Structure 1
Amino acid sequence: MHLNRMLLSAALVVVALMLQVTVLARLQLPGAVPDLLLLVVLALALVYGHTAGALVGFCAGLLADIAPPADHAVGRYALVLCLIGYAAGLTKPEAGQHRSATVPMLVVASAAIGSTLLYAGVGALVGDTVARQVGLSGLLITATIYDLLLAPFVVPLIMSLARRGEKDPIGAEPGGGSADGGMRAYGWLTSGAGFSASAGGSLLSKGGKGVKAGKRTSRNKTVSLGGRSKAGKIKGVKRL
């Protein structure tokens, strides 16, 4: 991962975890708790791709595993967010940006259900039966509803910050391409402009010679040669 990706991801994960523990976990909502950390991982995975999504998910989950008041085995949530981040990153299009909000919202809904099932499944493997006691169906429904309600306020903001951090202010042009790429793309235009300038200069010089020659002969001949040089210049510009 690039340095700007690492710094931005670390800052967002820490802020999300602090809000998760200090605010969202104390709301005493029925069923599950809105998972802000999951939404941050999903947003970064949708921009950075599956590899970075898996890395961010693992680090975010591991930090949540050791942050108080964690009451589960270390590595449990890290495994869940690693898999969720990898799967979410696979939905990143080739163009690098989603054209509508449909796919990200579907990813959020699927991740809310998938993370709850994975967390309960891993807990069952290590002997944790809390999900059965609380009610898995209620957790699935409330987790999906809470995350979908929170997603429009979190996911677009995180994705915008991630995309802005990807841009190079020195090597990138406002249109999205690099400065070198822009010069290469318009190289034919610059070379053509140089060609037309040289051609126009030669025509002007020829026109000047014609004017001088016209002065020696007659005024009508001077006007005709000057008109040819101007016509040649206009034709060259239209060619570009």
Structure 2
Amino acid sequence: MLLTAALVVVALIVQVTVLARLQLPGAVPDLLLLVVLGLALVHGHTAGALVGFFAGLLADVAPPADHAVGRYALVLCLIGYAAGLTKPEGGQHRSATVPMLVVASAAICSTLLYAGVGALVGDTAARQVGLTGLLITATVYDLLLAPFVVPLIMSLARRGEKDPLGTEPGGGSAGGGMRAYGWLASGASLSPSGSGKAGKAPKVGKAAKLKGVKRL
């Protein structure tokens, strides 16, 4: 959660302070959208919807936002949910084709949804600028920025969700560690021949057991 919050905040700051001031023709590259997509592709549709909602809500209240509060939150919530549905059952995408298609679809759908919600509340700015130009430039900008942002976000998200106890320091799995502790508890050890069979533990004399132990 801390990693997700940090990524969203950093993306919003860069969006407002850098990308929004580039004076590019048409739309503005949407770094916040790409961060939401990267997180949704790793964590799934539920997390994608939640991250999208709160990220959009921050964008709604961050200056110089001049639209109704909740408008972009609704858009990113729906986009994050839809992007999370593309997460495969195996947990990772095999190639970059699906993520890039998701980015292109999200750029188009987010622009249409934003303009559609704006039309419902009386905002006709999209019509004045030209919706077709916004769709084309938003898709091109996001696709150009996606190869540098989405893989990085997905890599950080996967690294953050890994269980640090899943592997032992020696390279074995956690299950192997549990089995090793079980062998020690039962007094068994591996045979010297390395066949993997458990041999009997050597007998320890009573004097050896008490050696170095303070008797009460």
Q: TM-score, normalised by structure 1?
A: 0.73
Offset, 1:97: 0.7
**Structure 2 match to 1:181:** 175
Inter-CA distance 127–153: structure 2 relative to 1 (3 Å threshold): same
**Structure 1 match to 2:206:** none
Q: Gaps spanning 5+ residues in structure 2: where? A: 182-187, 203-216
1:138-153 matches, cutoff 5 A: 138-153=133-148
**Structure 1 match to 2:205:** none
* 1:91-123 Cα deviation digits (max 9, x unpaired): 111111111100000000000000000000000
2:189 and 2:199 in contact (8 A); partners too: no
1:21-100 matches, cutoff 5 A: 21-100=16-95
Rounded Cα–Cα distance in structure 1 between residues aligned with 2:21 and 2:111: 19
Rounded Cα–Cα distance in structure 2 between residues aligned with 1:125 and 1:148: 29
Offset, 1:40: 0.3
1:1-240 matches, cutoff 5 A: 6-169=1-164, 171-173=165-167, 179-183=173-177, 196-198=197-199
Q: Gaps spanning 5+ residues in structure 1: where? A: 1-5, 202-240
* 1:185-210 Cα deviation digits (max 9, x unpaired): 999xxx995673539x9xxxxxxxxx
SS of corresponding position for 1:168:
coil
Counterpart residue type for residue 197 of structure 2: S
**Structure 2 match to 1:237:** none
Counterpart residue type for residue 52 of structure 1: A
Corresponding residue pairs, total: 192
Larger radius of gyration: 1
SS of corresponding position for 1:32:
coil
Counterpart residue type for residue 110 of structure 2: S
Identical-pair percentage: 83
Counterpart residue type for residue 41 of structure 2: L
Offset, 1:178: 8.8
Inter-CA distance 185–79: structure 2 relative to 1 (3 Å threshold): farther
Rounded Cα–Cα distance in structure 2 between residues aligned with 1:8 and 1:25: 24
